[in-house]
A = this chain, B = another copy of it.
Amino acid sequence: MVVGMVKGSPAVSEPTYFILAALLDGPLHGHGIIKHVLGLSEGRVKLPVGTLYGALDRLAAKGLIAVEREEVVEGRPRRYFRLTDDGRALVTAEARRMQQAASVVTSRVLPGSAFT
């Protein structure tokens, strides 16, 4: 009975979440994603290549992203990925979930900011 899968736990991890988020702004190739994620996360999330390409494979296998096109720029191959509708829906749902999760804590510990 595999059916459910709903399960409640995060469908994607933080690195994966940011990959999807980066693609909201349009198709990007691997290294482009790394740089874009760095910007989106305000320098916090530096995707290691091993993480990136592993995640891209899994996301594509799940149909959350797809290969948009492949180019060769100055002899170097570039594979551009785009978000699918499923991917867009998922990253949006994740954002909402994170917002709710964050509020669980913020509403308790920092109604003002009495901390640190």
User: How many copies altogether?
Assistant: 2
Checking B7, B8, B98 against A101 with a beta-carbon cut-off of 8 angstroms, the contacting residue is B98
Checking B95, B105, B108, B115 against A102 with a beta-carbon cut-off of 8 angstroms, the contacting residue is B95
Whether A15 is near chain B, meaning CB under 8 Å from some CB there, is yes
CA of A86 to CA of B110 in the docked complex: distance in angstroms? 16
Interface of chain A residues 68 through 116 with chain B (CB within 8 A):
88-89, 91-92, 94-106, 108-110, 115-116
CA of A71 to CA of B109 in the docked complex: distance in angstroms? 28
Contacts of A109 in B (CB 8 A): 24, 88, 91-92, 95
Checking B91, B101, B115, B116 against A18 with a beta-carbon cut-off of 8 angstroms, the contacting residue is B101
- Asked if residues A108 and B14 are in contact (CB atoms below 8 Å), the reply is no
CA of A17 to CA of B89 in the docked complex: distance in angstroms? 24
Interface of chain A residues 1 through 43 with chain B (CB within 8 A):
7-10, 13-15, 17-18, 21, 24-25, 40-42
